[in-house]
Chains A and B, each alone.
Chain A
């Protein structure tokens, strides 16, 4: 176990559980919506770390699995509303991809409730705050997710 992960475990054991959440968002709608939340000073839970991508079409489901493997307790995927994609159809491809991914999540050992899929447009700063807060409180209720991380650590210990 690395020093860094030891610290996390300690911190988690000491204080109340603070979920760590990764958000994969598109540059044009949700990222800009999150910017608007900032300029509007909309307060929200500080647990989410945003990864900016050009389009939800770029989001590989492996990113989500990787985030869980690295210790995320929850994931948000958010982009432009259907019909509003900057690239005209990227979000439709993403929607289809995640409809299938959602089906296989339980099978691969992830509670589907740990992932939020949402559409947040560039003008929906308030909605972004709500998505963040709602996801954080839901994940808080579900507790920490260590299944994937433990698996990886065990594999590394055995190797």
Chain B
């Protein structure tokens, strides 16, 4: 038989004024299973809590109900008091007679009746409460960072500097990401590589960072504190331990006209190549699709077609028969920082809606380029060594037209969102252009100017006022090539006049999109993504770098369009979350998780399908001879968040959510109608 103690709080006057507190305690005294019921001015005060502790000992209470404020306010306080009195803290619950009663009703009689009902419902529930033990999970205090752009680099450095080991996985042959492609950065016109390269080297040399480039996450298992990650190291065709990055191999490669990804197709590379001179690590990789050796082999030719690089390598580091290898890493937290790609105009895209802007002739008119291509043109390390030359004939363009919001803020083309960085980088481009072509004219077609960072609006004003960029509010409807020039036909919506501009070059500020393959990665990590493919944060305001999967964090442009300062800030925030998680050897979890009764489970796995966390696993039940009897559901306590959707879904009622079992809820419902 239960011996429940009920403690009714006056909360000063807050409850006592509208609820006859003494009558509530009196009504509880008459209930079966209630051994003790009192009222007191302030239950949450020290003497109030002492009353509870004393009553537990003196009256041998088996459960405690505190009728007071919302459990969101003081449940922890009273559970601690109950534990201090010697009973399991989960045998203590609160009846909310303040927020849900005294404060919202004026009629004293009706409020008192309701308070009695509320308290009785909780008494009946607590009679069926089971003692629960806080779940403790060991934490593997190493982190995985996916993506080696500026966000990934920052996160990895912060975690490593905080004293924890980091595995940094980058799918490209070098870290650096898009930032390494930029010429100068807004709003300070810092040289991008000058501020980035030292950080890349720091990552490479850090004793606590394990850098895996040209690698991808293959699978992720486990849960917060205990992830097991399998990483595919793609075959570089290089023995990393032998190669010293001398570059002799590249000099001999006969395939010299492959469009360089780093130079956005404006420069050329060889089939064995280092993406850019400052690459980290400084190791080449063989592009097997373009390499004559591999193409010859693929065609079935028995004689070796090439192999010149192997002959040129004095250290015997070229390995044509190298295969993909796998590494397994145990980590406690994961930071996703896979960054962005640009909307690819006129190219094959992953959605029908995104095949827009054929009217701009991108891909057919060589002098229509995108923003990243302009960065490469303006960059000292770029294909023109920083000279602004148009791709078709190398002439210096005297008239450049920039078009903003290409793909951004255009629901008709499938992207409603603002890409955030384009207003700023177009302003920067007009400046870089004028600093190099003093008599050049830059014209910008824009919809709005959104320059909302520190020093950003001033920067745009500077582009207009000091560097003479001409800003036209309006869109461009069509562009075509007329001999040497590109005719740009637009509309000035401020003056209400159509406009035709002759341009030597056109730069399209294209939308930011998440990296391809992000959906696959998100599914491996069981984090959600929005309809555009950006990773969803747990809460847009209060939990911006966490995801809905505990232990998985997000930083940079894979979450939504971000500029460098925001990406770095997010990365540091994610790193601090990881270090916070790693500050204890064990993780404490509320024990209110689902539990499976394997005897009842029929193995239908509806629960597995409705679980948003992937917390349901399959467990084989075998007899003593090892024969398989059945397969049942099992709950991973580390992953379960305690929502109870599985229990409501289970047709055989073999799942129970601790703290909210059917027995407890039905008892409360029964008590509801007892009056």
Once the chains bind, are B104 and A37 in contact (CB under 8 Å)?
A: yes
Once the chains bind, are B665 and A43 in contact (CB under 8 Å)?
A: no
A window 19-60: CB within 8 A of B: 20, 22, 31-32, 34-35, 37-39, 41-44, 46, 49-55, 57-60
Tally of B interface residues using CB under 8 Å: 45
Per the bound structure, the CA–CA distance linking A60 and B610 in Å amounts to: 14
Once the chains bind, are B643 and A90 in contact (CB under 8 Å)?
A: yes
B657 at the interface (CB under 8 A from A): yes
CB closest chain-A residue, reference B527: A88
A window 98-150: CB within 8 A of B: 129, 149
Which of B100, B643, B647 has most A Cβ within 10 Å? Answer: B643
Once the chains bind, are B669 and A20 in contact (CB under 8 Å)?
A: no
Which of B99, B110, B548, B612 has most A Cβ within 10 Å? Answer: B99
Residue from B100, B548, B643, B648 in contact with A38 in the complex, judged by beta carbons closer than 8 Å? B100
> Can you give 29 contacting A-B residue pairs, CB < 8 Å?
A4-B675, A20-B673, A35-B72, A37-B99, A38-B70, A38-B100, A38-B103, A42-B104, A43-B105, A49-B118, A51-B121, A51-B665, A52-B71, A54-B592, A54-B644, A54-B657, A55-B645, A58-B643, A58-B647, A58-B660, A59-B648, A63-B665, A67-B669, A70-B669, A70-B670, A70-B673, A88-B612, A90-B643, A93-B648
> Smallest distance from the beta carbon of A97 to chain B beta carbons, Å?
7
Which of B118, B548, B612 has most A Cβ within 10 Å? Answer: B612
Q: What 1/0 flags go to A57-80 for Cβ under 8 Å of B?
A: 111100100110011100000000
Residues A53 and B669 in contact in the complex (CB < 8 Å), given A35-B100, A43-B104, A93-B649: no
Residues A4 and B674 in contact in the complex (CB < 8 Å), given A35-B70, A57-B648, A63-B669: yes
Once the chains bind, are A39 and B99 in contact (CB under 8 Å)?
A: yes
Residues of chain A at the chain B interface (Cβ within 8 Å) = 4, 7-8, 20, 22, 31-32, 34-35, 37-39, 41-44, 46, 49-55, 57-60, 63, 66-67, 70-72, 86-90, 93-94, 97, 129, 149
Q: What 1/0 flags go to B241-256 for Cβ under 8 Å of A?
A: 0000000000000000
CB closest chain-B residue, reference A34: B100
Once the chains bind, are B644 and A57 in contact (CB under 8 Å)?
A: yes
Once the chains bind, are B669 and A58 in contact (CB under 8 Å)?
A: no
B668 at the interface (CB under 8 A from A): yes
B window 627-673: CB within 8 A of A: 641-645, 647-649, 657, 660, 662, 665-666, 668-670, 672-673
Once the chains bind, are A90 and B645 in contact (CB under 8 Å)?
A: yes
B192 at the interface (CB under 8 A from A): no
Per the bound structure, the CA–CA distance linking A50 and B101 in Å amounts to: 10
B434 at the interface (CB under 8 A from A): no
Residue from A42, A52, A66, A87 in contact with B669 in the complex, judged by beta carbons closer than 8 Å? A66
Query: What residues of chain B lie closer than 8 Å to A41, measured between beta carbons?
Result: 103-104
Query: What residues of chain A lie closer than 8 Å to B71, measured between beta carbons?
Result: 52
Residue from B100, B117, B645, B672 in contact with A58 in the complex, judged by beta carbons closer than 8 Å? B645
B114 at the interface (CB under 8 A from A): yes
> Smallest distance from the beta carbon of B30 to chain A beta carbons, Å?
12
B81 at the interface (CB under 8 A from A): no
> Smallest distance from the beta carbon of B343 to chain A beta carbons, Å?
26
> Smallest distance from the beta carbon of A72 to chain B beta carbons, Å?
7
> Smallest distance from the beta carbon of A110 to chain B beta carbons, Å?
15
CB closest chain-B residue, reference A97: B648
Residue from A34, A72, A87 in contact with B643 in the complex, judged by beta carbons closer than 8 Å? A87
Per the bound structure, the CA–CA distance linking A46 and B100 in Å amounts to: 9
Per the bound structure, the CA–CA distance linking A70 and B124 in Å amounts to: 15
> Smallest distance from the beta carbon of A2 to chain B beta carbons, Å?
9
Query: What residues of chain A lie closer than 8 Å to B107, measured between beta carbons?
Result: 46
Once the chains bind, are A32 and B72 in contact (CB under 8 Å)?
A: yes
Per the bound structure, the CA–CA distance linking A67 and B668 in Å amounts to: 10
Per the bound structure, the CA–CA distance linking A38 and B649 in Å amounts to: 33
Residues A88 and B121 in contact in the complex (CB < 8 Å), given A20-B673, A46-B111: no
Per the bound structure, the CA–CA distance linking A44 and B103 in Å amounts to: 10
Residues A55 and B103 in contact in the complex (CB < 8 Å), given A4-B675, A32-B72, A63-B669: no
Query: What residues of chain B lie closer than 8 Å to A72, measured between beta carbons?
Result: 672-673
Per the bound structure, the CA–CA distance linking A43 and B114 in Å amounts to: 14
B window 599-613: CB within 8 A of A: 610, 612
Residues A60 and B673 in contact in the complex (CB < 8 Å), given A38-B70, A66-B666: no
